[in-house]
Amino acid sequence: MTEHTLTVAGVAVDTRHWIGGRRVASTETFTDVSPIDGGTIGEISRGTAPEAAAAVAAAKAAFPAWAATSRAERARILHAIADGVEKRIEELSIVETTDNGALLRSHRRGVMPRVAHNFRFFADWLLQMEHEDFETRGHTNHVSWDPAGPSVLITPWNAPLMLATWKVAPALAAGNTVVLKPAEWSPLTASLLADIAAEAGLPAGVLNVVQGYGSEIGDALTSHPDVRRISFTGSVPTAQRIAGSAAANLTPLSLELGGKSPLLVFADADLDLAVDLAVEQYDNAGQVCLAATRFLVEESVAEEFTRRFVEKAATLTQGDPRHEATDIGPNIHPRQLEKIDAFVQRALAAGARAVIGGHRNDTQYYAPTLLTDVAQDSEIVQEEVFGPVLTLQTFSTEDEAVRLANDTRFGLAATLATGDPERAERVTAQLVAGTVWVNCFFVRDLQAPFGGSRHSGVGREGGTWSFDFYCDVKNTVTAPNGWKNHG
């Protein structure tokens, strides 16, 4: 081991940046803390403008060769990266659980296999990407997807590697080179990804990983004139700052900014299913952008729904995320815990009632909370908490349910529980959301478009939509009989 290597649960992790195919240290560091116990994991290289410039320069230098690499070869390397992920699922899982506090069992069984799938899906999608030629007055139109250039990808802390590779995989498949900036609260698996990609044969400079604070290295990356795409997942205020930086260079943006999604429960719903869907919103300690945090329940079943919900929630086990029996782990950071508690205490002071929870369980853990007696225009209903805090309101008519569901500045997702397919069709057609689930939750297919409306984001990614973003889509029009002098 070297001074730049941490041992995290027996796994060696390099704390330096990965730039141009080599490790680069910064003179300054920042402290990475585990949310499990608040203990220090280690010191991580803290990049600033020089590291940002070096990473973009490396990506720019590597771009021509990678863009010219055949689709088949790019796909082969992406599959090799997926192979590397699968060989290291246990290591990636324990490191990520230590770093961000999400359940170890979830990482092993779902999250890390999904990381490998991200690479495999976009490798395969790349090989079948085509648009049928079409004719215009005898002229042939041919649509193609040209690599756009160096791409800056800024990713969040709630599902660090899965959400990073959701961006990295299509960007690389498209022929772009990448500078990945992971969240400073969960940087470790991005470093391991750099190792895996290098071992898979990804050329130097095609993937670069830089660590640090958004206000330092992030700003330097998003304002760089050589960056041709920026994809960001995070908060609205940060997205507004990024958009301002990108505006000077007209750099295209894809922004996924969280939400305040509703769960609509109608009286004709299967209440057991509705309760199961409702309790699922505590997944990842409530740190899920898609979570349906606002329960809108028809008045006639609200009391019964609440009773069953409380009974079901009481069966959840909160504690160490490394334990198999744990259902809810810690929140990511003391600052986030303070933010969550402040939301709840302000709501209680304003007249809300805590049916369950409403308090911390420990310095790192917030009790699963359900608040009622909340006004539609209240902060707790309108603003994203990003913790295990849910609200419950009632409605009497379908129109009222739709009105309440749409009455926020967000529009990322919505979930609907009903036994009436005609009602489902009517209501989903009126909901403002990028994704709507009917009698299910969190069913995600990578070929589907993903993104949000209003303040939940700009653009869509997934399947062909990802390539539309990461590429310059070109139409070539060829005249008929234009080859008479050929040969």
Question: Which residues are known catalytic residues?
Answer: 256, 289
Residue 218 contacts residue 181 (beta carbons within 8 Å): yes
Question: Which among 257, 263, 251 is positioned nearest to 302, based on CA atoms?
Answer: 263
H-type helices in 236-395, by residue range?
236-247, 271-279, 299-313, 334-349, 379-382
User: Which own/partner contact pairs does 194-198 have at CB distance under 8 Å and 24+ positions apart?
Assistant: 194/18, 195/14, 196/81, 196/84, 196/85, 196/88, 197/81, 197/84, 198/18, 198/21
Q: What whole-number distance in Å separates Cα of residue 423 and Cα of residue 406?
A: 17
Backbone angles phi and psi of 471, in degrees to 5: -120, 165
Residue 362 tokens read as 């420990």
Q: What residues are paired with 182 via a beta bridge?
A: none
- Give the rounded distance of the alpha carbon of 24 from its chain centre: 27
The Cα angle at residue 62 between residues 255 and 21, in degrees rounded to 5: 95
Which residues 6+ apart lie within 8 Å of 225 measured at CB?
249
The distance in angstroms from the start CA to the end CA of the chain is 64
